[in-house]
Structure 1
Amino acid sequence: MVTATGRRLCWSSAVASGFESLGGREQSSSIHSVQIRTPRKMPYEIKHVFASLPQMERGVAKVIGGDPKGNNFVYTNGKCVIIRNIENPAIADIYTEHAHQVTVAKYAPSGFYIASGDITGKLRIWDTTQKEHLLKYEYQPFVGKIKDMSWTEDSKRIAVVGEGRETFGAVFLWDTGSSVGEIAGHNKVINSVDIKQTRPYRLVTGSDDNCAAFFEGPPFKFKFTLGDHSRFVNCVRFSPDGNRFATASADGQIFLYDGKTAEKICSLGNGKAHDGGIYAISWSADSTQLLSASGDKTAKIWDVAANSAVTTFGFGSDTLDQQLGCLWQKDYLLTVSLSGYINYLDKNNPDRPLRVVKGHNKSIQCITVHKNDGRSTIYTGSHDGHINYFDAETGENDTFSGKAHTNQVSSMAVDSSNELVTCSMDDTVRFTSIAENAYSPQNSIKLDVQPKSVAVGAGGYAVTVCIGQIVLLKDKKKVFAIDSLDFEPEAVAVHPCTGEVAVGGTDGNIHLYSIQGNTLKDEGKSLPVKGAITSLAYSNDGAFLAATDVNRCVTVFTVADGYAEKDRFYGHHAKVVCIAWSPDNEHFATGGMDMMVYVWTVSDSDTRIKMPGNIKIWSCIATPKPLKRMTHLPLGGSAIM
């Protein structure tokens, strides 16, 4: 079909897909969705943030910070701090100003600030009331990983502990950094700290030296150690009323002490509280009960006065079901599994959580969007081989069931049969029904070499580019391969209806092929661009082909004119890594290593929407609807819409 302007159109139901990964660079596991309201005036707003899960490590406790106002909770992933609404965790915000991996974040009791610490010992205190999250103060209490922190109830003093080189902790005034005591008494890493929220102040720490330490102040001075545990002390917490504090250890025991004198009261359960190590504890607001999370894959609620477990929550038998963090905030009881899943516990049904918040906790490498029955679903593939699907409106998500890819998912697209086609560093291409959302072992095609990118066409065809090879697949079978290439392929796109195939190489050229039955024919034509190609995409009507390259340029070709160059688009200040077309075929979006996303107008290279974000690296983009919305992936474990 040819329009009055001579553009050859091919009507296709395909929606722009995600793109190849950034070869080993850390990327995001959260999803952001941006609402573009008036392209000519260039405004935009973030509509959704589909946040990443906490970044977990086996055998290491995860601190989940509570909101004193009871609305949110906070945790870390990579260089990001994630703030989520506790009633509706689909509502989220991301703080991305740390230069290094963030390990812990805690609200000030006032609720107006959050303090977050990283692996270098840098502590940042920043505003929570404004969307810009302006930095208030920054300190370096010691050099080394910060593992935990605590504020005094007036939000004026902060205690910080961790893996310092010369000291394992510090306590200081929040607005000047002046010391208000000394954290001493331990000869190994301090894992946990807490300050009594009533006067007179007391401070307690827990360490890898199997001891807890008790301090009085301010200025805080070491009084004595508590040596009741036989293994690492992972968590210490005062009750909200200050009358008691509890210590939890890798030895499976929880001890209770008097909050003012540190006199030992009892051992919960009169022995071992759990069959495995205990990583986190959290008190109820009325100080009568305690929630504990353990590596034995259970969590328990303890009646402190009765010294007994009143509820035991089971999570399964898999290693990933180990419980490494917990939070009791108002009526919400949360635990965090080794998988990163956030479990909302139901006291009335301890064998089944009220809800399980899922997502990615490793970097997302690729994305595609598919629309069915008026609803858009976002599909994402991550560095660890997991594939998730998100409802674009609600953020509700889950993972595909069955045996997944065993390595990074590098590229994905939805074909005309409503199957998700993915390629992975495990040297396979898989076809997965999006109706069933379950992997099928028989629909996995083993390749000779590692694939980099995959694209789908009409008639059951798919093309994947591998290291030194181009592979044609039809009806879920490998039917043809080209091995003797004089260039290294990096990206691929298939015309939505003609069978033309564009392959982008590191030689800075687009090489054209055509699908003819079960073979790929080299058309002997190449299209030069400004540098090594990073991604390719045909417009949805097949009228244009766009290419991004390492030299910050986007080049668009007109297909009907024999792939004549239409225009070049400049604006990025670093390598452009991904591209997606709007379904209106008049606009496309690009993401680059300069932390920018641009929306361009094909007919006017000077018209663009510049979306600088707080996000560090873009890995891929997809567009659910014309002009109004797109989904892109930044650093830190989340996605923006």
Structure 2
Amino acid sequence: LPYNTIEHVFASLPQMERGVAKVLGGDPKGNNFLYTNGKCVIIRNIENPAIADIYTEHAHPVVVAKYSPSGFYIASGDASGKIRIWDTTQKEHLLKYEYTPLSGKIKDIAWTEDSKRIAVAGDGREKFASVFLWDTGSSVGELSGHSKLINSVDIRQQRPFRIVTGSDDTTASFFEGPPFKFKCTLSQHSQFVNCVRFSPDGSRFATGSADGQIFIYDGKTGDLIGSLGGEKAHKGGIYAVSWSPDSSQMISASGDKTVKLWDVGATTAVTTFNMGTDVADQQLGCLWQKDHLLSISLSGYINYLDKNSPDRPLRTIKGHSKSIQCLTVHKNDGRTYIYSGKTGQNDSFSGKGHTNQVSKMVTDDANDLVTCSMDDTLRFTNLGKQEYSASDVVKMDSQPKSVSTAAGGLSLAVCIGQIILLKDKKKVFTLDNLGYEPEVGAIHPGGTTVAVGGADEKIHLYSIQGNTLKDNGQTMAVKGVVTDLAYSHDGAYLAAVDDKKVATVFTVADGYSFYGHHAKPVTLAWSPDNEHFATGGMDMMVYVWTVGDSDKRIKIPDSHKLHHVSSLVWIDENTLVTTSHDASVKQWTITY
């Protein structure tokens, strides 16, 4: 089979939860940073975040990932208490070791500077933390002293080694070693301790808590030195702190929607970054990496902070953090834009968006993006303006499942129990009492015929006569419930996929069936060459088929490892874009 290469991964944002800190990992060379979303660990280049890599080998949601100080390995911990240690230098990310040090969620990970010992902390039945040798898993001490789950752990990067932990029991604990043993409890905080971090030079460590306080302690003895910011460091809870490389400054991220930059010696804030006024602007994570100051908002947005302009980040990385349902492509001035739709509001358009999941989207010849959503509306958004406008919302009687467009301002909406023809963004004709449940529809590029795929395992053809749809009593049988269908761009073929795992192509004269999927295919897209079409299924496979030759198929296995492909679109004859519920968008080069 011809070989297909992946060109781009458009990575998802971190998955965020209100009131829960998000740990960002940085690599020791300062090039990449790490975070998690679902079962994925996402590695992004800090200078060019468009360069990304996704590790998908965890069986459970992964919570935290940290580079070893050598930079050669990443340790990632998941909700089941499993830690995987894997290679960063190879594209395959080979697994080096795997352990289950805790019986519950791993919330934080720290390495000793020689990359030989690892401490993990989190939740568990018998213990909340563990410290062990990376290559054997054997214990190098006991991290006891807490009565509730531990949120954060860190190791001093100089000898003599020290470990500090911060817990929901409102205390931090200090340990000496190796082998590590309990030295003292630090009881200055009055609320959950969310983050503990040693300075890079090992002279001090800081603790940040939901009480809005940051305390500084001696890195070797654990003695209290003082606090930052007088009575309180922040008006809201503190979720994360990160030291500057020279150990003289620190940033802190808070639920009060600010990030503060501290002069630790003077115990005062040098800069306050105001990140917004919305709940989604709460700051739940931060990382100081070389010259980059990063923070993460509850929205999942990653902010690059600018010391010279505290009210305006240098840049904000946006994207998807929830599953992506649909995708479309639009060419403008010779550039190709990929639009993807998800649950709730889309950040790339200003104004009010859909209030529920967007289930299908297409572009029309009037430069509009047409979307249908579970909020029972169809929406026309002008791509020149990139703004949702209130006037171009068409309310449906029932929930729309699919939308199709054709030249001359025609649109077709397939809703529960109804087919609706629209012209110039207005309903002109409704067909109901169909005698079958319509699933998906397509308008022939010539604007003369409509094909509707049904739950009755048939495709029903209607002709467009003026502003009406006429049932010609013409149907074509397929093997199962139709899950998607589309005309080729030249109108010569109609392809359908069904829940019996079959793709069928009809010419105006005959039909061919294409077999190959191991599970229900849910989406299909025609290549601009009209000779090939791609299908994506619940089996996580993508196939590219050749119309004249059903044996000539190209298979892209594991296109999205964890979730099935939810949408496909071609940019040109050799470039296919896939998206999935893993929230990532991938671009592939197809060679025949």
TM-score (norm 1): 0.90
- Is the counterpart of residue 504 in structure 1 residue 479 in structure 2? no
Write out per-residue CA displacement over residues 118-139 of structure 1, whole angstroms, 9 at most, x where no aligned residue.
1111211111111111111111
SS in 1 for 2:229: helix
**1:638 counterpart letter in structure 2:** S
Write out per-residue CA displacement over residues 164-187 of structure 1, whole angstroms, 9 at most, x where no aligned residue.
122211111111111112221111
- C-alpha displacement of 1:200: 0.9
Q: Does the 8 Å contact 1:237/1:247 carry over to 2?
A: yes
- C-alpha displacement of 1:457: 1.5
State the match for 2:357 in structure 1.
Answer: 408
Trace 1:113-512 onto structure 2 (pairs within 5 A): 113-382=73-342, 384-387=343-346, 399-512=348-461
- Is the counterpart of residue 572 in structure 1 residue 532 in structure 2? no
Trace 1:85-104 onto structure 2 (pairs within 5 A): 85-104=45-64
- C-alpha displacement of 1:517: 2.3
SS in 2 for 1:442: helix
- C-alpha displacement of 1:636: 2.2
SS in 2 for 1:63: coil
Counterparts of 1:460 and 1:498 in 2: how far apart (Å)? 10
SS in 2 for 1:459: coil
Counterparts of 1:444 and 1:363 in 2: how far apart (Å)? 24
Q: Does the 8 Å contact 1:123/1:138 carry over to 2?
A: yes
Counterparts of 1:509 and 1:143 in 2: how far apart (Å)? 51
- C-alpha displacement of 1:518: 2.3
Counterparts of 1:177 and 1:504 in 2: how far apart (Å)? 56
- Is the counterpart of residue 107 in structure 1 residue 67 in structure 2? yes
- C-alpha displacement of 1:219: 1.7
- C-alpha displacement of 1:377: 0.3
Q: Does the 8 Å contact 1:78/1:637 carry over to 2?
A: no
Counterparts of 2:551 and 2:79 in 1: how far apart (Å)? 43
- C-alpha displacement of 1:577: 1.2
Q: Which moved more, 1:571-580 or 1:260-269?
A: 571-580
Unaligned regions of 5+ residues in structure 2, if any?
588-592
Q: Does the 8 Å contact 1:488/1:505 carry over to 2?
A: yes
State the match for 2:583 in structure 1.
Answer: 637
Write out per-residue CA displacement over residues 51-89 of structure 1, whole angstroms, 9 at most, x where no aligned residue.
111101111101111011111001011111111000000
- C-alpha displacement of 1:514: 2.0
**2:455 counterpart letter in structure 1:** T
State the match for 2:571 in structure 1.
Answer: 624
- C-alpha displacement of 1:285: 0.6
**1:571 counterpart letter in structure 2:** G
- Is the counterpart of residue 600 in structure 1 residue 545 in structure 2? yes
Counterparts of 2:73 and 2:455 in 1: how far apart (Å)? 47
- C-alpha displacement of 1:498: 3.2
Counterparts of 1:101 and 1:284 in 2: how far apart (Å)? 30
Q: 2:495 aligns with which of 546, 551, 572?
A: 546
Rate the CA distance shift 1:323–1:56 in 2: closer, same or farther, 3 A: same
- C-alpha displacement of 1:480: 2.1
Counterparts of 1:56 and 1:178 in 2: how far apart (Å)? 33
SS in 2 for 1:633: strand
Write out per-residue CA displacement over residues 159-215 of structure 1, whole angstroms, 9 at most, x where no aligned residue.
111121222111111111111122211111111111111111111111111111111
Counterparts of 2:117 and 2:146 in 1: how far apart (Å)? 21
State the match for 2:526 in structure 1.
Answer: 581
Q: Does the 8 Å contact 2:458/2:478 carry over to 1?
A: yes
Q: Does the 8 Å contact 1:576/1:591 carry over to 2?
A: yes
Counterparts of 1:568 and 1:543 in 2: how far apart (Å)? 16
State the match for 1:11 in structure 2.
Answer: none
Counterparts of 1:99 and 1:490 in 2: how far apart (Å)? 33
- C-alpha displacement of 1:499: 2.6
Q: Does the 8 Å contact 1:299/1:312 carry over to 2?
A: yes
**1:606 counterpart letter in structure 2:** D
State the match for 1:45 in structure 2.
Answer: 5
- C-alpha displacement of 1:281: 0.6
- Is the counterpart of residue 66 in structure 1 residue 26 in structure 2? yes
Q: Does the 8 Å contact 2:109/2:119 carry over to 1?
A: yes
Aligned residues, how many?
585
- C-alpha displacement of 1:478: 1.9
SS in 1 for 2:148: coil
Counterparts of 1:149 and 1:597 in 2: how far apart (Å)? 36
State the match for 2:590 in structure 1.
Answer: none
Counterparts of 1:455 and 1:484 in 2: how far apart (Å)? 21
**2:547 counterpart letter in structure 1:** V
- C-alpha displacement of 1:359: 0.6
**2:585 counterpart letter in structure 1:** A
Q: Does the 8 Å contact 1:50/1:638 carry over to 2?
A: yes
Counterparts of 2:513 and 2:372 in 1: how far apart (Å)? 30
| Higher RCO (Cα < 8 Å, 6 or more apart) | 1
Counterparts of 2:126 and 2:462 in 1: how far apart (Å)? 63
- C-alpha displacement of 1:588: 1.1
- C-alpha displacement of 1:148: 0.9
Q: Does the 8 Å contact 1:192/1:235 carry over to 2?
A: yes
Q: Does the 8 Å contact 1:230/1:251 carry over to 2?
A: yes
- C-alpha displacement of 1:515: 2.0
Counterparts of 1:385 and 1:455 in 2: how far apart (Å)? 21
Q: Which moved more, 1:513-522 or 1:353-362?
A: 513-522
State the match for 1:537 in structure 2.
Answer: 486
- C-alpha displacement of 1:249: 0.5
Q: Which moved more, 1:175-184 or 1:536-545?
A: 175-184
Unaligned regions of 5+ residues in structure 1, if any?
1-40, 388-397
Counterparts of 2:455 and 2:112 in 1: how far apart (Å)? 57
Counterparts of 1:505 and 1:146 in 2: how far apart (Å)? 47
SS in 2 for 1:114: strand
Q: Does the 8 Å contact 1:502/1:513 carry over to 2?
A: yes
Q: 1:611 aligns with which of 539, 556, 576?
A: 556
**1:610 counterpart letter in structure 2:** K
Counterparts of 1:142 and 1:423 in 2: how far apart (Å)? 45
Q: Does the 8 Å contact 1:386/1:409 carry over to 2?
A: no
SS in 2 for 1:270: coil
| CA RMSD, 1 decimal | 1.2
Q: Does the 8 Å contact 1:385/1:409 carry over to 2?
A: yes
SS in 2 for 1:142: coil
Identity fraction in percent: 70
TM-score (norm 2): 0.97
Counterparts of 1:160 and 1:483 in 2: how far apart (Å)? 60
Q: Does the 8 Å contact 2:545/2:552 carry over to 1?
A: yes
Write out per-residue CA displacement over residues 551-594 of structure 1, whole angstroms, 9 at most, x where no aligned residue.
221100003x2xx21x2112221111111111111111111111
Counterparts of 1:159 and 1:248 in 2: how far apart (Å)? 19
Counterparts of 1:322 and 1:117 in 2: how far apart (Å)? 25
